[in-house]
Amino acid sequence: MCGFNIIPITKMVFNLGGMFYNLPYIRSQFSNGVVLSKTKVKVVRKPVQSRGIARFEKILSVAKSLIAEQGMQETTAYKIAEYAELPAASIYQYFPTRELIFETLAERQFEVFMDDFQARFKNKKFTAWQQMAETLVLASYEFYSLDKTNARLFLGVDAIMVVRKGAASRLSRFAIWFCAQMEEQFCVDATPLREPIAISINLIDGAFIRSLSLHEEIQAQYHDEALKAVLGYLSSHLPPSLSVK
């Protein structure tokens, strides 16, 4: 509806308290390096001293490179330690499980995607909701195509379960932000569109996974197919045109 107040993205997307997994008897939170759960507590021990911070960042940097080059299954804690030239104990000092390394990277790469997406929207005036959908598909295509880590981390067949579990939360956070942008651009109550937007990203990912399975890369034609799928799907939830603010 016209006059909708937009919540600042820094508060809405990145400070929502982290990851909430909708699994029976488990409610986990990943925020500021801490995972809270009804099961055994796992903690990313984020350092505060410069030497520790340097090691922490080196671990993540090496893990990111190894995922791009060798895949997630081959990216073990001991291999990360070897390439980072650190004792294996240092890995577990900061990341008690390998999965926490991957989930930390997933959150960081999600923030990279959001930063890029915000830049695409900055001072941009859309005249049709279809243009917003086109921007979404193109941003996703470039996110996965330009950085192999992203494709392996989020789309790869060997993607670790903890990353897949966290995907639902990331999709929901993105959908909230995207719908807020729609309400800023158009006279529309976009709240009912949050789930369709999240599902649209699943459609995009499905097209790209198909391309990776067949061609070991995301070919340009699958960008086009993803766009057709998203426009067709969202057309069942939106009229052909919306009034511009």
**Residue 165 predicted with pLDDT over 80:** no
- Top-level class of domain 9-36+97-234: mainly alpha
Torsion of CA 82, 85, 91, 94, to 10 degrees: -160
Tokens found for residue 22: 């909708």
Which of the pair, 56 or 1, is modelled with greater confidence?
56
CB 230 within 8 A of CB 200: yes
The band of 158, judged by pLDDT with boundaries at 50, 70 and 90, is low
Question: Kind and range of the H or E element at 42?
Answer: strand 42-43
The whole-number average pLDDT for the span 180-193 is 97
Which alpha helices (H) appear in the chain, and where do they start and end? 9-12, 50-70, 77-84, 88-94, 98-121, 129-145, 148-150, 161-185, 194-215, 220-234
The whole-number average pLDDT for the span 129-149 is 97
Domain locations in the chain? 9-36+97-234, 45-95
Kindly report the average pLDDT of the chain as a whole number.
Answer: 84
Could you report the per-residue pLDDT of 70-94, keeping only the tens digit for each? Answer: 999 899 999 999 999 999 999 999 9
Out of 2-6, 51-55, 86-90, 178-182, pick the least confident.
2-6
What proportion of the chain, given as a percentage, has pLDDT over 70? 81
Q: Which pLDDT value is given to residue 5?
A: 36
Q: Which pLDDT value is given to residue 29?
A: 39
CATH number for region 45-95:
1.10.10.60
Radius of gyration of the chain (CA): 19
